[in-house]
Amino acid sequence: MSKLKGLILTEGMHGMISQAEGLAKALDLNFFHEKIKLNNFWSFIPPKFTPIKKFVFKNEIKEDFDIIISCGRKSVIPSIYLKKNSKKKVFNIHIQNPKVKLGNFDIIIAPQHDNLIGDNVIESKGAIHYLTLDEIEENGHYLSNKIDTQKEIATLILGGPNKYYKYSKKNIENIFSLIDQDFISKNFQLIVIPSIRTPKNIIQLAKNSFKKNHLVIEHVDKKAYLSGLNLAKYIIVTCDSSSMISEAALTGKPIYVAQIPSSINDYRFQRFRNLFKELNIIRDLGSNIENWNYKPLDESNRTASEVKKKLF
């Protein structure tokens, strides 16, 4: 039996692509990705006030598809439109709260901390994503020749500034100081992994702060990211990225969250982190360094199994 064909619609940001592709992989789809581009001022209009019309978006999608997986505000209207105007039956799934009538989608996958309730809603603990344990294991040795294999490793995963958290020099130096106090002073070697959102000046600040005895990856490198997760005894992730914290939770390793003071109310992030604390997955950086265990969190495959029960 041939695989179902999937169309992924996102705004092109890493977190959205990771979630949508993670679900597509877990569903074993042949999929392709469209970065949604909205016309004119529709980029600024909430979906609930936007007509379900083709003139809203620029994309011309010629390939065939059976399932749409959308993620992000801009993908809401295109997903609904393409389903309604397809010549065949199409199943559409939206990841995150679409903020329109839930019945526009066959399934909505929303994080538990969003408290979204509906007959077609599947809750995930944190964000689903595209990483797999096999990938992490396969790339484990990618950085091995660049580290001191006699030392224990702490891997720092850096996100980037957003409207909630500012990557000021002071905020990041506070994080680096805690890492120095909690890990480097105890003879750990540090691996620093940037994301696509990490400012260049923050990568340079890491190089200046941790010198040659530690490894600072200067560019986005997925293999380095996977290897850093594999080699680490402890993982440290900045608080701005629920996606990267969720990805790290796949390893089952202790995760410390590096806090940054919020610029505006960050209650959704706080609810997410409180849930992960209850699940014994994360603790705040600056706590005593301890070992603890939890069941690796693989929400992509768990939610995919729920989706499969409802497909068509």
Could you state, in chain order, the average pLDDT of each consecutive group of 10 residues for the chain (312 residues)? 91 91 96 96 95 97 96 97 96 97 98 92 94 96 93 97 96 97 96 96 96 92 98 98 94 98 94 96 93 95 95 78
Q: Is the pTM of this model over 0.75?
A: yes
pLDDT at position 288, please? 85
Is position 295 within any domain? Answer: no
Q: Are both 73 and 139 inside the same structural domain?
A: no
Q: Are both 181 and 120 inside the same structural domain?
A: no
Please name the residues in contact with 137: beta carbons below 8 A apart, sequence gap of 6 or more: 230
Q: Residue 107: which CATH number?
A: 3.40.50
Structural domain of 20: 5-125+301-310
Q: Are both 20 and 143 inside the same structural domain?
A: no
Is position 293 within any domain? Answer: no
Q: Are both 105 and 139 inside the same structural domain?
A: no
Please name the residues in contact with 212: beta carbons below 8 A apart, sequence gap of 6 or more: none
Q: Are both 41 and 118 inside the same structural domain?
A: yes
Q: Are both 180 and 64 inside the same structural domain?
A: no
Is position 163 within any domain? Answer: yes
